[in-house]
Amino acid sequence: MKLKRIRLARIKIAIIHFFQSHLKIIGLIFLVGLLVLSLVKINLFFKKLNIVPRHVIALFQDPVDHLSNSNGRTNFLLLGIKGENETDVADLADTIILASYQHSTKQTTIISIPRDLWIDSLKTKINAVYHYGEQRNPPVGLNLIQASIQETLGLPVHYTVVVNFNSFIEVIDLLGGVEVNVETSFTDSLFPIPGKENDYPIESRYETVSFEQGLRTMDGQTALKFVRSRHAGGDEGTDFARNKRQQLVIKALRQKLLSANVIFNESTRSQLFGIMQKNLVTNLKLDDYPSMIKLLITSRSQPFGSIGLLTESNDGEIAILENPPKYLYQNQWVLIAKDGNWPALKQYIQNSL
């Protein structure tokens, strides 16, 4: 019995001595193993997304060398539409935001475009342009909305992304919500309930939504109500206040997308790409995504700038739009350039960028 214990003790000592003598080599083998395992997982992830070596290389290059731009500026248009589950027109644009990125300064400037902006060449509001384009054969929604932006604002649109409400909710819920700083408390008692647009009595079509001032964590449904609300009392009931709320959510969403919990979480990344591939309508190509990721990362420390398209002067910004008589515009409530001076509107935007 004693001999057996002695042998076991000798074996333990030999093992300990071996590890002590070869600690560096064992550590190196362990690190190499981890690296190989990581590379295998990354390779499988890339294959799943059809990512090839040139996409990885693009992550280490300047986005301006890969993305379309005009004089070093790339303009992105975001359209938020209701989606297929709505009982009324599904592809009317509820949210229209242009983000202009200057590569040299890494500065992003956001312009929230009012839904009622008049497009004279099409004799309609801008929120209907994508819809009318999609009704053509073949559909030309993206081309038509991009041409309309250049016509009215004088800005070329290089990339457009169309997001429906459902995918907006899915992304925010996947990220565990977003933290939004609500600047002003408000209550909207006429927020439309999806699917009840034609119900009777009329009051059954609406619900009441309220938001208290302060930092709030919002899930997808709550964030959607926050950016869509347009019937609150006072200034918060205007489209311009609504546009400002949309910008707050975009800023919060950018911060969440660039957090370590998202960047280093393979499951979250895969699900995000899945939502994008399934739901987004865009002219962005797979080759553009690495440069887009690089652009987001390099600009993360820069605050967003903004240009207000206002009908009344506010916070140092001038009134550049006006509401003309309805009878001049097919009896519709629309917005046009102040005094009908569209060149002045375009110049104002250029000077503000």
Tokens 């995918």 identify what position?
A: 167
Res. 39: pLDDT tops 50: no
Looking at residues 60-84, what average pLDDT do you find? Answer: 85
* Under 8 Å between Cβ of 131 and 139: no
* Under 8 Å between Cβ of 311 and 323: yes
Q: At CA 309, angle to CA 224 and CA 124, rounded to 5? A: 80
Confidence of residue 288 (pLDDT cuts 50, 70, 90): confident
Domain borders along the chain are: 2-48, 63-352
How many angstroms separate the CA atoms of 108 and 302, rounded?
8
Cα separation values, 231 from 79, 234, 296, 307, 346, Å = 21, 9, 33, 23, 30
Give the pLDDT confidence score for residue 43 in this predicted structure: 52
Lowest-pLDDT choice from 12-16, 96-100, 309-313: 12-16
How many angstroms separate the CA atoms of 56 and 294, rounded?
11
Res. 296: pLDDT tops 50: yes
Tell the CATH superfamily of the 63-352 domain. Answer: LCP protein (3.40.630.190)
Q: Which residues are CB-neighbours of 328 under 8 A, at least 6 positions away? A: none
pTM metric for this prediction: 0.79
How many angstroms separate the CA atoms of 249 and 252, rounded?
5
Give the pLDDT confidence score for residue 55 in this predicted structure: 46
Give the pLDDT confidence score for residue 173 in this predicted structure: 94
